[in-house]
Homo-oligomer: A and B are copies of this chain.
Amino acid sequence: MPTIRDVADQAGVHPSTVSRVFSGNAKISDETRARVLSAAQQLGFQPNAIARSLSVRRTETIAAVVPHVFQGYFEDAFFPQVMSGLLDAAYPRGFRILLSGSNSHADEITQMFQILGSRQADGIVVLSTRLDVDTVGALRRQSTPFVILGRPVAEYPDICWVDTDSERYTAECVRYLINLGHRRIAYVGGDPEVAVTRERQAGYQRAMDEAGLPVNPNWIVYGYFAENGGYRAVHHIKEIGETMPTAFYAANDLMAIGVMRALRELDLCVPTDVSVIGTNDAPEAKHIFPALTTLRVPYAKMATKAAELLIDAILSDEPATGKAYIPSRLIVRDSTAPCKTSEV
């Protein structure tokens, strides 16, 4: 491949001049520019991005490491929406996305620090939700900017994150059910180790408390974000001899779909007998029967905002700052209806 030196020779100028016409911002006479450009054209020259990166200490790349996760991760709405959002922010700013895989949660962290330490990217958006205090602390101690998608459990003043207010919006969902007359409402959470599971649970608890409704511990079940987990949650409640709740809030749509499958087996009709609300507004939510009422979480927007904050930080040569909540929205479809009965 031709280098800047080949072009310089061909055009009869110094390599630095060639560099100047390609980096754009320097003053170059029209005549010189034309000579350089035509020489470059003839030789098929394109500047080597790696050499440029080394010199300017910027790669115009932001990184993300893809979490090591449950089977079906790539069937969920989260990943593609996040990618879409990152590209939306990066592309118009001339940045690209560098993706790394990982094969365990520990390796995920390793990969992050690898990319950061080896300066393979100018910044990183952290997709992992399970950052412990150590990891966040280590992230702050290094100098490459980062922003976390999801509020980390440890609150540092100077950390940058973007999230949706899970507690608040789950509370809104549960309030919606309560306003429909439901009093026995179940919460089907994801992995209890994950922060968002606890946040949503807190929202559920809050809405129930505010309405003065008792929460039966048996109504709180963890389905680990799997269809099967939602399915089993219903059967679990049934098996321990509990009266069936008249409404379920599930922390993702897959689990909500599992809940509906189990209810069908028990000859309980959705929404006539039981109401169900899911979370995420996955593609299947609107195609399922009955169409699923769900809390739409704006992953793409969150990722866009995260990438914007990150790129701003990179361009200004400062650590990323700012904390942002992006609103979620309840999408009412056909899986929710007024409660038939009013006894507790």
Contacts and interface: CB of A to CB of B under 8 A. Distances in A.
A49 B1 contact: no
A118 B44 CA distance: 11
Given A87-B66, A143-B1, A287-B287, A98 B48 contact: no
Interface string A63-103: 00010000001111101110110011011000011111111
Contacts of A300: 74
Nearest to A120: B49
Interface stretch (A50-58, A153-161, A242-250): A50-58
A198 interface: no
A15 interface: no
A192 interface: no
A283 interface: yes
A98 B236 CA distance: 45
Interface in A109-167: 114-115, 117-120, 143
A69 to B, nearest CB: 11
A306 interface: no
Contacts of A73: 84
A288 interface: yes
B47 A118 contact: yes
A59 interface: yes
B96 A96 contact: no
Interface in A310-329: none
A138 to B, nearest CB: 11
Contact of A97 (B75, B91, B99, B103): B99
A83 B91 contact: no
A67 to B, nearest CB: 11
Interface of A: 1, 44, 46-51, 53-54, 59, 61, 66, 73-77, 79-81, 83-84, 87-88, 90-91, 96-103, 114-115, 117-120, 143, 257, 282-284, 287-289, 300
A80 B87 contact: no
Nearest to A289: B289
Given A98-B96, A99-B83, A118 B77 contact: no
Please tell me how many copies of the chain the complex holds: 2
A333 to B, nearest CB: 14
A24 B96 CA distance: 30
A155 B300 CA distance: 38
Nearest to A60: B120
A94 B193 CA distance: 29
A119 B50 contact: yes
Given A91-B102, A282-B283, 15 more contacts: A46-B117, A46-B118, A47-B118, A49-B118, A50-B50, A50-B54, A74-B80, A74-B83, A74-B300, A75-B283, A80-B83, A283-B283, A284-B287, A287-B288, A289-B289
B99 A99 contact: yes
B49 A119 contact: yes
Given A97-B99, A288-B289, A50 B53 contact: yes
17 contacts: A49-B118, A50-B50, A50-B53, A50-B54, A50-B59, A66-B87, A73-B84, A74-B84, A74-B300, A90-B101, A91-B100, A96-B98, A96-B120, A97-B100, A257-B287, A284-B288, A288-B288
